[in-house]
Amino acid sequence: MVLDRKFYRRSPHLNPHLSPQSGAQETVGFNDVRKRFDFRSIAIGRWVTEAEKTRAAGLFYGALEDLMTILQGPELLISLRGTLAFQYGTGGRPGICAHYEPGTRTFALAKNAGPGSIAHEWFHALDHYLAGKAFSDAPGNMFASEAWLREATPVPHPINDRLFACFRAIMLDESGEHPSDMFRASKAADKANGCVYYASPAEMCARAFEAFVQDATISNNFLVAGTKATEEARLGLYPQDAQRTRINLAFTDYFTVLGASLRRAGQQ
């Protein structure tokens, strides 16, 4: 079983299996996850045992806690102001370990899969949520990254400008005039596979976000893994070298300002 594996974590936070209130006295459950991050709802599959539920909840809690710290934001960023739902082990799609469903704004992990996929799928949720915030005419099913590429009408705001800088660093080269190396590699992979997947704006941005999270000083391979030493990385499907540095700087700038804004809003 996947959750029987040990997952590497280097973090300033407590062991994710221990309650932050009582240390070693209680384990964290999915109810703690919902309360801490204010998810709209959490649904657990009927075939998930209590032991599996406890193990998964602790790992997921720790991954989200680390993600929140990396992004320098409050809990409401993780649940997208309480609009995001979460499902664990409820069925999902055949062969898919994790996915985000735009129609229901739901992030789902398969019962015995999904480790390392959390950062990728969470960014899909953020990308979708931001479409209606950063653009005035983006359709409800569109992601912000695609809206930017299709030149939808932007909502003027300094934070949105920083978001667009992230998209630019991912999809364009340093001059801003030509496709990036990551896009060219993604397009080549799609051509070889006879489909459009890797080069779609949402997938490119989610993979770039994975790389940003994996490059952080906090390490958690239940949260993210695979952006450096995998076949996809070898093919250039994750950002490399100078482009990776540019993307990381753009994401750092965006999330630093976004997190500060959300914290101020939460204190009012």
pLDDT of residue 219: 94
DSSP state of 106: E
The pLDDT assigned to 96 comes to 55
SS3 79: coil
Please write the tens of the pLDDT for every residue from 59-76: 999 999 999 999 999 999
Give me the helices (H) in 25-136, please.
Answer: 30-37, 50-71, 75-78, 118-134
pLDDT at 91: 61
Average pLDDT on 171-196 reads: 97
Question: Is the pLDDT assigned to residue 145 strictly greater than 50?
Answer: yes
DSSP assignment, residue 2? G
CA quadruple 82, 61, 134, 241: dihedral, nearest 10: 180
Q: Is 18:27 a contact under the CB 8 Å cutoff?
A: yes
pLDDT at 205 over 60: yes
More confident residue, 211 or 113: 211
pLDDT > 90? residue 178? yes
How is 159-203 classified by DSSP, letter by letter?
A: HHHHHHHHHHHHHB-TTSSSB-HHHHHHHHHHHHHTSSSTTSHHH
* Reported pTM: 0.92
Strand partners, 10: 219
Averaged pLDDT score across all residues of the chain: 90
pLDDT for res 157: 97
- How much of the chain is in helix, strand and coil states, percent to nearest 5? 50, 10, 40
Three-class secondary structure of residue 136 per DSSP: coil
For 25-62, the pLDDT digits (tens) are: 358 999 999 999 999 999 999 888 998 889 899 999 99
